[in-house]
Homo-oligomer: A and B are copies of this chain.
Amino acid sequence: MALHDDLRSIALAEFAASGYAATSLQRIADLAGTSKASVLYHFASKELLLADIVSPALDDMERLIETIEHGGGLRRAEFVEQFVDLLLMHREVVPLVINQGATLDDVPVMHRATEILRRVTELFRLASGSTLEKLRFGVAFGGVAYTLAAAERLGLSGEIPIDEVRSALLLILRDLLVPAESTAR
């Protein structure tokens, strides 16, 4: 059982760092100190390995979306906070979906990820139609997700404590997304 989890985390790290297509099962096996056939014993296929890695994050995200869709209207400030918490909780998976989602949408689990992203955008577009609003949304969520994804690559994150990142992201997102209530723009 330990190897099973090792393989998952090793594969996650490699998929995020080098890309799904560029990461061979052989390399995952080498890093785990086992054989390629052993990897395919624990995960029936490379696609299912990816699905196993990504699905939990997608489940959480879908749950949040449905809660809001069925639970009456949308309270942006509240959603933003929970959304950021989910991104931070699954912050290792975010680069995978963000950077490689478009490339891999023939893989079922990645197609599902794209679909979920689309539902989030629709959630926000209900109330806003102007180009400025649309782009503000795109920059906000794309920016947060991409920042988490590219943080270490560009040396942006470093050793910043998570709760500091959390509060800063919330501030930025509130400025961008929550309709001006207190501050004039």
Interface residues of A (CB under 8 A from B): 17-19, 21-22, 95, 98-104, 114, 117-118, 121, 131-132, 134-147, 149-151, 153-156, 160, 164-165, 168-169, 171-172, 175-176, 183-185
Contacts and interface: CB of A to CB of B under 8 A. Distances in A.
A172 B135 contact: yes
A143 B139 contact: yes
Contacts of A95: 102
A22 B102 CA distance: 12
B100 A132 contact: no
> How many copies of this chain?
2
Given A131-B165, A138-B143, 14 more contacts: A18-B103, A114-B153, A118-B154, A134-B156, A134-B160, A135-B165, A138-B154, A139-B143, A139-B169, A139-B172, A145-B146, A175-B175, A176-B176, A183-B185
A19 B103 contact: yes
Given A19-B103, A172-B136, A150 B142 contact: yes
A131 B172 contact: no
A185 to B, nearest CB: 7
A102 B102 contact: no
